[in-house]
Amino acid sequence: MARQGNAAIIEQFIADGVPYMFGNPGTVEQGFLDALENYDELQYILTLQETVAAGIADGYARATGRPALLQLHSGVGLGNAIGMLYQAKRGHSPLVVIAGEAGVRYDAMDAQMASDLVAMAEPVTKYATRVTDPNSVLRVVRRAMKMAMTPPRGPVFVALPLDVLDAVNTEPVIPSTYPRTESLPVPSLVEQAAELLAGAEKPLVLVGDGVSASGGQRELTRVAEQLGADVWGVDFSEVNLDARHPLYRGQLGHMFGEVSGEAVKDADAVLIVGTYVFPEVFPLLHSPFREDARIVHIDLDGYEIAKNHPVSLGLVAEPKATLAALSGRLDEKLSPADRERAARHVQARRAAQPARPEDDGSLLHAFLRELSAQAPEDVMVFDEALTAAGPLNAHLPGRLPGHWFSTRGGSLGVGIPGAIGIKLAHPDKTVIGFTGDGGSMYTFQALYTAVRHEVGAKFVICNNRSYKLLDLNIEQYWRERGVPFHSYPSPFDLSHPDLGFTEIARGFGVDGLRVDEPGQVTHAVKRMLEDDKPFLVDLRTTEGA
């Protein structure tokens, strides 16, 4: 059927079951945004800045496991979204990113807002292209959908010139095809993996989001228990293992390689699943593992296997299926002594678990303790709390698959839009986004979108009136270089002028409360949870300089 490309592209997205387009409009996209008014099946979610649009799309994609459609405005809009697209790429979020431009016929003119969009997008996407043939629009869109969803998943980019979309399009609308990736190695390699791991005295498991992407949490838990292996999260921003499990030790790989090195240095057998090692800002340049350590690495992304450090056996395969097969082989390979040692270790870790989260008497702990008591069991959390993440995860640990998400990639400002995206994906759930005072100001205008589209996410700003993470990191810098401790650099301080978050929120139509002392906690938590409207809590955790 002949129609404009503007209509054809919308029909394609509808055929692919895409319910939302997240974006910020511009002149060069006006044709298909005008056409969008004729279709009820695809809703435009308006944001006031492209970083917010990308953050909401990222949260939605993570919460659904489906592609999220992100519309950006030409080169300037793409530029605004670059940091958040980097976040999505590092986190393997399946985003389909489209941006308009004036037209192919203007290529030689070096006109206003003209730029090489594909070159801009390539560093922060897994694939970037530009459509120049009016009858290849839908073919390219389907390719983009497929590539976004094919592991390793990630954002893809398509530049759509205005004159290409204005032209007559005769392409048929066909739902996109997503390759099936359920796979496991040949039996002899699973056997080899079991042989390498069985008999270990100090086994270790390093796990990342490839496990959650495959739905392999149960299989991962079974293998860890069979081995009696401590489990560390690496590039771990979703529920890959119940954080309350006695074998779970926490997360590695955020900042300093020495931390990871200390955690893995004694292991004689290591299983790495669904991640690479190690993703620190300042990683060790040498291998942190024992020279005689037997290392098995499982991931669907072959690039990540042995990327930084050698392994004994690398298996390019789906984690869930491979872990299930490995568990079956371990049942046959493990000796009675292996099973006894594993059971003793699990029991010792369970006995060492505190009966309740540690509580230092701070306002932060008081708030989180009350929130954990009042929130429903299936509360969904987006954690960008950064320096408050320890207490947050003690009181509200990631337990249920698909119900806990944390920041990844290092881009600030993901907490508020991420929670909005998750709530759009799960409107029947209680969704709470935690962020800091510094991080929140990158994307605070996302509250407008929550109100406009009636998205009842909740937001907690852990307000220490500083970039506290920078304070902690420069302390490490001073220690490493023998620099005497002194006042933190003044750009790290956010105490002046005081940021009135509840007042700013009300300007967007969001109600909120400021919490300064423990006596205000119970009322604030009750008020936050009492309805399904957006609500913000300004939690004054510590004072700035």
Asked if pLDDT for residue 98 goes beyond 50, the answer is yes
The lowest-confidence range among 239-243, 319-323, 476-480 is 476-480
Return the sign of the alpha-carbon dihedral for residues 29, 33, 35, 39.
positive
| pLDDT, the chain, mean | 95
Among 117, 171, 130, 146, CA closest to 6: 171
> Region 495-502: what's the mean pLDDT?
93
Q: Which residues pair with 406 in a beta bridge?
A: 383
Can you give the pLDDT at residue 544? 43
* Per-residue pLDDT, 452: 98
DSSP state for residue 457 in the 8-state scheme = -
Cα distance from N-terminal residue to C-terminal residue, the chain: 66
Is the pLDDT reported for residue 94 higher than 90?
yes
pLDDT tens, residue by residue, 505-534? 999 999 999 999 999 999 999 999 999 999
Q: How many CA atoms lie within 13 A of 243 on its CB side?
A: 22
Q: Dump pLDDT digits (tens) for 324-347.
A: 999 999 999 999 999 999 999 999
pLDDT above 60: residue 350: yes
Among candidates 58, 77, 43, which has minimal Cα distance to 433? 58
Residue 545 has pLDDT above 50, yes or no: no
Count of alpha carbons within 13 angstroms of residue 513, beta-carbon side: 15
- Which of 14, 96, 44, 30 has the alpha carbon at shortest distance from 453? 44
Q: Which residues, 6 or more positions from 326, have their beta carbon under 8 angstroms from its beta carbon?
A: 190, 193, 194, 197, 223
- Altogether, the residues listed in the chain come to a count of 545
Q: Are 127 and 113 in contact (CB under 8 A)?
A: no
Sheet strands side by side (includes 431-436): 404-406, 380-383, 431-436, 458-463, 535-540, 511-515
Among all chains, which residue has been given the structure tokens 């790290």?
492
Strands 43-46 and 20-23: parallel
Over residues 487-516, the mean pLDDT reads 95
CATH 3.40.50.1220 fits 187-352, yes or no: yes
Mean pLDDT computed over 72-99: 96
Please write the tens of the pLDDT for every residue from 168-219: 999 999 999 999 998 989 999 999 999 999 999 999 999 999 999 999 999 9
Q: Are 490 and 473 in contact (CB under 8 A)?
A: no
The dihedral over CA atoms of 24, 25, 31, 35, expressed in degrees to the nearest 10, equals: 60
Instruction: Evaluate whether the domain defined by 363-540 bears CATH number 3.30.300.100.
Output: no
- Asked if residue 437 lies in contact with residue 443, where contact means CB atoms within 8 angstroms, the answer is no
The number of C-alpha atoms within 13 Å of 236 and in the hemisphere containing its C-beta is 27
User: Are 447 and 453 within 8 A, CB to CB?
Assistant: no
Q: Domain extents for the chain? A: 3-169, 187-352, 363-540
- Helix spans in 248-388 (H): 257-264, 319-333, 336-352, 363-374
The radius of gyration of the chain from alpha carbons, rounded to an integer in Å, stands at 24
pLDDT in tens, 5-46: 999 999 999 999 999 999 999 999 999 999 999 999 999 999
- Of 305, 302, 259, the C-alpha closest to 283 is 259
Residue 54: in which H helix or E strand, if any?
helix 50-64
Q: Are the C-beta atoms of 231 and 339 separated by less than 8 Å?
A: no
Judge whether 353 and 245 are in contact, CB under 8 Å: no
**In the prediction, which pLDDT does 107 show?**
86
Are 542 and 465 spatial neighbours (Cβ–Cβ below 8 Å)?
yes
**Which CATH number is 3-169 given?**
3.40.50.970
pLDDT value, residue 543: 52
Strands 3-4 and 168-169: antiparallel
Q: Tokens for 75, please give them.
A: 């080169």
CB atoms within 10 A of CB 378: 13
- What's the per-residue H, E or C state across 490-537? HHHECCCCCCCHHHHHHHCCCEEEEECCHHHHHHHHHHHHCCCCCEEE
What is the spatial distance between Cα 295 and Cα 229, in angstroms, rounded to a whole number? 13
| DSSP per-residue string spanning 165-231 | HHSEE-PPP-PPP---------HHHHHHHHHHHTT-SSEEEEE-THHHHHT-HHHHHHHHHHHT-EE
d(CA 108, CA 467): 45
pLDDT beyond 90 at 114: no
Do the domains spanning 3-169 and 363-540 agree at the CATH topology level? yes
Rounded Cα distance between 277 and 4, Å, is: 48
Question: Which has the closest alpha carbon to 76: 46, 100, 109?
Answer: 100
